[in-house]
Amino acid sequence: MCWFLSVIYPHDSMAIFDYNRVIKSCPLSTPELIAKLEPNFTVTPVARPAQPEPTSPEADITPKHYAKPSHKRQFAMYRDGQWYHLELTAPVDESDPVKNIDSQILTDLVLEPVLGIHDLRTHPNVAFVGGDRGLQEMEAKTDAMREQGA
């Protein structure tokens, strides 16, 4: 006989948080980096809204941010004080479920070939910002590193 522990939650009581990667230093200039991304992505600057979005106590538990990707295979990149959306244009092997995960697409098309990062867990140039802290924290961390000359 086998027993399995299980819990059921209503869909509106759950959230899947982002797990954002911060690259501490990049040897490429912003135009060089965008040029390396363009064979696989459409890269578009994201306009900062004139007024911040209002928040309410009933809002989602994940912090809101104007640059947060809105759908699968859209990524956000923050570089030199500017947010960019990256829309995947390269084909993905639909028969491989792992290759279809956004984080794996990012690894396969950006982190490994463009930035030379092969192991996210141990690479000294990679830091993480959990999604519960939002893109605002990622922006602040990146700006602080840029000011320190990292």
pLDDT score at 150: 53
pLDDT, tens digit, 9 for 90 and up, residues 38-52: 999 999 999 988 776
Q: Output the pTM of the full model.
A: 0.80
Can you give the pLDDT at residue 63? 61
Taking residues 103-124, report their average pLDDT.
93
Residue 55 pLDDT greater than 60, yes or no: no
Instruction: Give the angle subtended at the CA of 70 by the CAs of 66 and 71, to the nearest 5°.
Output: 165
CA distance 113 to 90: 14
Which of 13-17, 24-28, 74-78, 98-102 has the weakest average pLDDT?
13-17
Express the helix, strand and coil content of the chain in percent, nearest 5 each.
Answer: 25, 20, 55
Which of the two residues, 90 and 13, has the higher pLDDT score?
A: 90
Query: Residue 19 has what pLDDT?
Result: 80
- Mean local confidence (pLDDT), 56-85: 81
pLDDT in tens, 6-35: 888 887 777 777 788 889 888 999 999 999
Greater model confidence, 79 or 145: 79
Q: Which helix (H) or strand (E) holds 33?
A: helix 30-37
pLDDT grade for 82, boundaries at 50, 70 and 90 = very high
Quick one: how many helices (H) and strands (E) in the chain?
3, 5
Supply the pLDDT for residue 113. Answer: 96
pLDDT above 90 (res 94)? no
Task: Work out the mean pLDDT of the chain and round it to a whole number.
Answer: 85
